[in-house]
Structure 1
Amino acid sequence: MKYIVYILYSVSIKKYYIGHTGNLEQRLKRHNAGLVRSTKPGVPWKFIYQEKYLTKQEAYKRELRIKSYKGGEAFKKLIEN
C-alpha cells in the first residue's frame, strides 16, 4: 500500500493543513465534509501538494518534517513547485 503526505489550503481562513493518508481521495472528502475536527473551520480545502511513500512510518516522518518547515523558506519552495 502507498501512503501519501499531502498539503491542503483553505482560502476562507488562509491556512495550510499537512497530513498523511492511505487514501487521498477519501481523506479530502472527509476534510471538505467537515468530518475532521481540526479542518472543519476551513472548509472548503483545496489540495495543493502530495508526496508518495511505501510505508506509513516514512509518510509520518515526512509529515513531521514538512510541519517543521511551516512558515519558512523550505515550506514556500515546497508549495510553489
Structure 2
Amino acid sequence: MKTLGTHNYFIYILTNKNKTVLYTGVTNNLKERLYYHQNPAIEFKSFTSKYNCFYLIYFEEFKNIETAIQREKQIKGYSRSKKESLIQKKNKDWDFLNDTV
C-alpha cells in the first residue's frame, strides 16, 4: 500500500477517431484505464465503447484524489470550445497519446 500523498491520479480526455466526441474521466492508473476503455466487458456497454472514444488526447496528473475529482468536474462543466482550447494548449495537433503513457 502506498503512503498517503504518494499516489498519482489523472484526469484525462478521450476522443474517437474522427475527434467528434469528447469524454473526460479520472483514474489512478491511466495506462490500465485506457486498456479497459479499449476492451470493455461484453456485458457492460459504456459511453466510451458506444462512441468509440479510445484515443487519449489530454491528461493532467495530481497527487491528491480530491483535487483530481474537482478538476474532472470542472472540465466536465466546460463548453466544447473551452475543452478544445484546453486540449490545444498541450496537444496542438490533437495527436493520440495512448502510446506515450
Provide TM-score, normalisation by structure 2: 0.70
Alignment of 1:33-44 (within 5 A): 33-35=39-41, 37-43=46-52
Which blocks of at least 5 consecutive residues in structure 1 are unaligned? none
Asked if 1:3 is matched to 2:12, the reply is no
2:78 to 43, 55, 69: 69
Which blocks of at least 5 consecutive residues in structure 2 are unaligned? 1-6, 90-101
Equivalent position SS for 2:57: strand
Deviation >3 Å, runs of 4+: none
Provide TM-score, normalisation by structure 1: 0.86
Whole-angstrom CA distance in 1 between matches of 2:19 and 2:83 = 18
The structure with the largest alpha-carbon Rg is 2
Q: Write 1 or 2 for the structure with the bigger share of strand.
A: 1
Whole-angstrom CA distance in 2 between matches of 1:76 and 1:39 = 18
Whole-angstrom CA distance in 2 between matches of 1:9 and 1:44 = 5
For 2:83, give the aligned amino acid.
F
Whole-angstrom CA distance in 2 between matches of 1:25 and 1:58 = 20
For 2:8, give the aligned amino acid.
K
RMSD, aligned α-carbons: 1.8
